[in-house]
Amino acid sequence: MTTSAKGPERVSEMVGLLRKWQALERDAIETTAEIMEKTNNPLIRQFMEIIRNDSVQHHRVQQFLIDSLTTTPVQLTPEELAEVWDAIEAHDQVERETIALAKQLKEECRFFVQRSLLDYLIVDEEKHDQILGQLEEFKKNLYPYA
């Protein structure tokens, strides 16, 4: 993407790159499914399923980005956020408890495969906590004096 692009040109370049990225995600979905068909090994199948599911979600987020740039601008009102804020905070607490539990399990686990999968789960749960933190930033920007 050229940094000198302005307005509509920049949006067009971003959408083009997002569509290329979506094509890569579709390839990843297809290849992980093909690998899963070639093996009965539960560990390989589990890893491929994780990657495939992530690729499906990435594709959906990329489409959301494309739509937000081309047809449906993102909107979030203070009222919409306020309606669910208590539930978001409660869920964030659950995420933090989950992270603590997973870290405890990993600390006590002496098996390589299980520790590796616990690492994956910790990173994923921390990602959830980070996403909820981004909502906190939205809240601060919606309520600058809060």
For residue 7, the model assigns a pLDDT of 85
Instruction: Give the residue from 53, 44, 30 showing the smallest Cα distance to 124.
Output: 53
Compute CA 108 distance to the chain's CA centroid, rounded to the nearest angstrom.
28
CA-to-CA dists, residue 72 to 59, 65, 129, 131, angstroms: 17, 9, 26, 21
C-alpha distance from residue 111 to each of 56, 114, 123 (Å): 30, 6, 18
Nearest residue to 78 (alpha-carbon basis) of 139, 144, 145: 139
pTM: 0.87
Distance of alpha carbon 64 from alpha carbon 10, whole angstroms: 17
Is the model's pLDDT at 146 over the cut of 60? no
- Tens of pLDDT along 5-56? 788 899 999 999 999 999 999 999 999 999 999 999 999 999 999 999 999 9
* pLDDT tens readout for residues 99-133: 999 999 999 999 999 999 999 999 999 999 999 99
